[in-house]
Amino acid sequence: MNNDNTFPMKEKNIIYFDNAATTFKPNRVIKKILDYYENYSANSHRGDYDISFKVDDMIDYTRDNVKKFINAKRKEEIIFTKNTTDSLNMIVFGFFLKYLKSGDEVILSSSEHASNILPWLVLSTKKNIKIVFVDSIHEKLNINDLVNKITDKTKVISLAHITNVSGDKRDIKKICELAHSKNILVVVDGAQSVPHIKVDVQKLDIDFLAFSAHKMCGPTGVGILYGKYELLNEMIPFEYGGGMNLNYDENSLKLLDIPYRFEAGTLDIASIIGFGESIDFLNEIGFQNIEKKEKELKKYLISKLEEIPYIKIYNKNCEGSTIIINIDGILSGDLGLYLNSKKICVRSGKHCAKMGDNKEDTVRISLYFYNTYEEIDYLVNVLKNKEEIEKFSK
């Protein structure tokens, strides 16, 4: 029997380098979810009996755990959603639909994930607002261009903390200081940062933050929307239904307090409980240790890839845990399928985003702390066989 801190998927005959998409789950998280289904499978805020009370306690435990994890001021600032995309949509259409006026400007970067671009584009057609894109230089955000594109009409800057393709890490503290000096709000997509580095929302002074459980050893189906309490108080619920209202009749509707007014219907209870366990797991490992391990793995991977003359590396100088590569003359999809034939999991394509001015499809190798040097060595040895790769792609 595996111990609780090991990963069942690590025992499969695969090498997994697609951690930016989702991560493996340790036994303890899986067991926590099973424990709910086997021992107290009831709904939350719906029953006057012991197992329902326990569900309420476990959800409250996870909410408080998330609050401490990102250092929010109060647990009411933590809203459970389905994923990062859901959180960003709630922010855009729940808050900024009302907040922004015709002619206002929103600043994004050209290398954002689609989930932090598409909702804003839709909002721009509803509200006649202007979307302004900041350029990237060598796959990194051009901070000078950001400064130059701020006008008196700029009302919000929405950026990924770390991008999902190039791994560009933005100076969110500096950006928030700049924005707040001009009464501009800041939305942060933390899908690729919260699982890898310590994120302190008070220290960074973030207004809104979105991230997902499944990218940090937790289950799928749970996202987090953090917002400053005074901003959430102005947000309109995205959905309406059971569990988010105090009372109603044909003429009036009275909603519950934050955060419950934003959590209509039955939540993904099992996954929320599992997420609380994954936070405990990551806290025990320590983010200092996670960051250190990932930096060492990435440095080693780059050094090995640089030994292969036909491998093109796009983002050597970015700080995230992703490496983007191509082989001249080989389609990224073909390279991804070739690696799959060797039991190596990577991502190929555009990854729901782009890197600066680069329009090529690429192969993304994304690391997490449980990857090993031996796995990297195997990947590199497979990539060294160019003749076999070319034969496979024909």
Residues 337/341/344/347 CA torsion (nearest 10 deg) = 10
Pairwise CA distance, residues 188 & 195, whole Å: 14
Q: Is 84 helix (H, G, I), strand (E, B) or coil?
A: helix
Pairwise CA distance, residues 153 & 104, whole Å: 5
- Within 135-199, residue ranges assigned H as helices are 143-149, 172-180
pLDDT truncated to tens, each residue of the chain (394 aa)? 358 889 999 999 999 999 999 999 999 999 999 999 999 999 998 778 999 999 999 999 999 999 999 999 999 999 999 999 999 999 999 999 999 999 999 999 988 999 999 999 999 999 999 999 998 777 789 999 999 999 999 999 999 999 998 999 999 999 999 999 999 999 999 999 999 999 999 999 999 999 999 999 999 999 999 999 999 999 999 888 877 776 666 666 778 889 999 998 899 999 999 999 999 999 999 999 999 999 999 999 999 999 999 999 999 989 999 999 999 999 999 999 999 999 999 999 766 565 555 567 899 999 999 999 999 999 999 999 999 999 998 7
CATH superfamily of 8-25+286-393: Aspartate Aminotransferase, domain 1 (3.90.1150.10)
Pairwise CA distance, residues 81 & 257, whole Å: 16
Q: Is 42 helix (H, G, I), strand (E, B) or coil?
A: coil
Rounded (10°) angle between helices 27-39 and 269-285: 150
176 in active site? no
Q: Which CATH number fits domain 27-284: 3.40.640.10, 2.20.130.10, 3.40.190.10, 3.40.50.1580?
A: 3.40.640.10
Q: Are 174 and 147 in contact (CB under 8 A)?
A: no
Structure tokens, 330: 């080989």
Pairwise CA distance, residues 97 & 93, whole Å: 5
Structure tokens, 89: 């949509």
Pairwise CA distance, residues 115 & 305, whole Å: 31
pLDDT reported for residue 353: 62
Structure tokens, 118: 């598409």
Neighbours of 145 (CB within 10 A): 15
**176, 217, 318, 352: which one is catalytic?**
352
Q: Residue ranges of the domains in the chain?
A: 8-25+286-393, 27-284
- Residue 54 neighbours by CB under 8 Å, 6+ apart: 40, 42
* 223-227/208-212 β-pairing: antiparallel
Instruction: Tell me which residue has tokens 């799959």.
Output: 340
Pairwise CA distance, residues 370 & 367, whole Å: 8
| Largest interatomic CA distance in the chain | 73
pTM of the full structure:
0.94
Structure tokens, 324: 């983007």
Pairwise CA distance, residues 375 & 350, whole Å: 24
- Residue 251 neighbours by CB under 8 Å, 6+ apart: none
Residue closest to 273 by CA, chosen among 4, 81, 57, 2: 57
- Quote the strand ranges of 77-207, DSSP E: 78-81, 105-109, 130-134, 136-137, 140-141, 154-160, 185-189
Q: Are 111 and 356 in contact (CB under 8 A)?
A: yes
Instruction: Tell me which residue has tokens 């006008």.
Output: 151
Residue closest to 258 by CA, chosen among 236, 282, 221, 232: 232
